[in-house]
Structure 1
Amino acid sequence: MEFTLKTTFNATAKQIYKTWLSTQGHTKMTGGEAFVSDRVGDPFTAWDGYIKGENLILEPYYKIVQSWRTDNFKDREEDSQIQLILSETDGITELTLIHTNVPEDGEHYIKGWQEHYFEPMKSYFE
C-alpha cells in the first residue's frame, strides 16, 4: 500500500530539511531520539531505534528520499520508502510525504505520521 500526506509548517524549506537530517534537530523536533546524517547512503534511526533506514536521495531544501522500516515490519517484508517534498512560499513550507511499499497492515502509519511527526514539528517550528 501507499499513501500521500500534506501539511504546512511556519518554517523555511531549508530549516525543515536541515532539521530532518540533523541528529540533534530530528530528536528535538519529534521528541524521540534520532541518529541522522545528511549524506546519501548513510543509515539513520529515529524514535529510539523504532524506525531505521538509509538516505537514498537528497536534494538540498527540496527533496529527501529514505528507505524506512519499523520494528513492526516482518523480516520477509521489504523496506518501505518515504519521499519528502518541500515547497516554500513566503516562509511557509508545504511538506508532501509520499510513503510507498508499506506493508498491507500499515494503515496505522498514517496516524503515526500525524501524531509523532507533524504535530510535534508544528510546535517545534512555531
Structure 2
Amino acid sequence: MGAAAVSFTVEARAPACLNGFCEAWMSSKGHGTVTGGEAEVDARVRGKFTAWDGYISGKNVELSPGKKIVQTWRTTGFTRAQADSRIEIALRKSGKGTRLPLVHSKVPSDQAEDYRQGWE
C-alpha cells in the first residue's frame, strides 16, 4: 500500500499581469521560462502537458483565464499505483503584478516536502 496523500499551499508573486501569467504558464516556451526546464503544453481543457524536461506530466482540468488554472500533476517519481496529484493556482491582482497562491493536493506524503520545496 502506498503512502497517504497530503496537501500543501505555497505562494509566489509574478511581475506579469493576470493574463500575462496565464499566457506564460499555458505556452510551451513561457512555461519553460517560468519553471526553468523544457515544457510542452496543449493549452486546452483536457490538453496534456509535460514540464521540467519530461519529469512532470499532467492534464488541464480547468482553465479560467486571469482567474484560475487547475491541472492534474505527476512526476516520474510516482509509482503506477499512485493517483495523479492536483495543482490549483488562483490568480490574484497585486499592484502591477500577480499573487499566485498554489494548492498542491493528493501528493504522496513521502514526496510532498520535495515538491513543496520545488515550488518555492
Letter in 1 for 2:79: K
Please identify which structure carries the higher helix content: 1
Q: Which residue of 2 aligns with 1:28?
A: 33
Q: Which residue of 1 aligns with 2:3?
A: none
Q: Which residue of 2 aligns with 1:40?
A: 45
Supply the RMSD in Å over aligned alpha carbons: 0.9
Alpha-carbon distance in structure 1 between the residues aligned to 2:90 and 2:115: 18
Letter in 1 for 2:85: S
Q: Which residue of 2 aligns with 1:85?
A: 90
Alpha-carbon distance in structure 1 between the residues aligned to 2:71 and 2:47: 10
Alpha-carbon distance in structure 2 between the residues aligned to 1:64 and 1:17: 8
Gap regions ≥5 residues in structure 2: 1-5
- Deviation readout 1:39-97 (Å, 9 max, x if unpaired): 00111000010000000000011100000000000110000000000001332210010
Gap regions ≥5 residues in structure 1: 115-126
Q: Which residue of 1 aligns with 2:72?
A: 67
The structural deviation recorded for 1:11 is 1.7
Alpha-carbon distance in structure 1 between the residues aligned to 2:67 and 2:9: 17
Q: Which residue of 2 aligns with 1:51?
A: 56
Please identify which structure carries the higher strand content: 2
The structural deviation recorded for 1:6 is 1.1
The structural deviation recorded for 1:29 is 2.3
Is residue 2:104 matched to residue 1:104?
no
Question: Which TM-score applies when normalising by structure 2?
Answer: 0.91
Q: Which residue of 2 aligns with 1:11?
A: 16
Alpha-carbon distance in structure 2 between the residues aligned to 1:104 and 1:29: 26
Letter in 2 for 1:23: S
Aligned-residue identity in percent: 44
* Number of residue pairs aligned between Structure 1 and Structure 2: 114
